[in-house]
Every structure is written in C-alpha cells, then in structure tokens.
Amino acid sequence: MRNPDVLAEISADRARAGQVIVGFAAETDDVLANGRAKLKRKGCDLLVVNEVGERKTFGSEENEAVVLGADGSETAVAHGPKEALAETVWDLVAERLR
C-alpha cells in the first residue's frame, strides 16, 4: 500500500484562498529537472530542492538549494547556514502573500 501524497493533496484542496504551499525535495541526481517535474506533479507554489548524498544536507548545519516557483522562478541559495535558506524561503512566501 502506498502512502498518501500529502503535498499533492493539500496543494489541490487548499484550506483557504491565497494560501502558499511550500514543498521540499531531496534529490540524488538531475536536481533541477527532477525538481521541476516534481513541482508540476505536486501543484505547490514553491519547491525547495537540494542534492543529497554522502556528507550533504542531513546531519549538517549547512545546506544549499534552489527554490523553484510554480510561476517559473528559480532562486538559488548558496552553500551556507540552514538559517539563510529558511530566510530565503520565508521571503519568497511573504512576496506571494502580498
């Protein structure tokens, strides 16, 4: 039995108008291509994609990622503290809430 696709479900049936849905995707290869395909499948507004692998992301205080937008935008976040990535994601959400 497959687990439900929670991100696709909340993206399709939003609790209230104007809600911004953000998803996260850890990819092992073809990060941007796989991320764009996943963004389209899931139907969310923003998808934070990053490459995972040995000594990357999990268990680390630092990360780098690209935030893909359903509007075609692409915001790269350079390698650095995870707090910097969080601030970028929040800024992108805030822009969409205006």
What is the model's pLDDT at position 34? 95
Q: How confident is residue 2, by pLDDT bands cut at 50, 70 and 90?
A: confident
Helix (H) or strand (E) holding 92: helix 82-97
Mean pLDDT of the chain: 91
**Bigger pLDDT: 55 or 30?**
30
Domains of the chain: 6-97 (3.40.50.10300)
Cβ neighbours around 68 below 10 Å, total:
24
What is the model's pLDDT at position 55? 56
Helix (H) or strand (E) holding 52: none
Tell me the whole-structure pTM to 2 decimals: 0.89
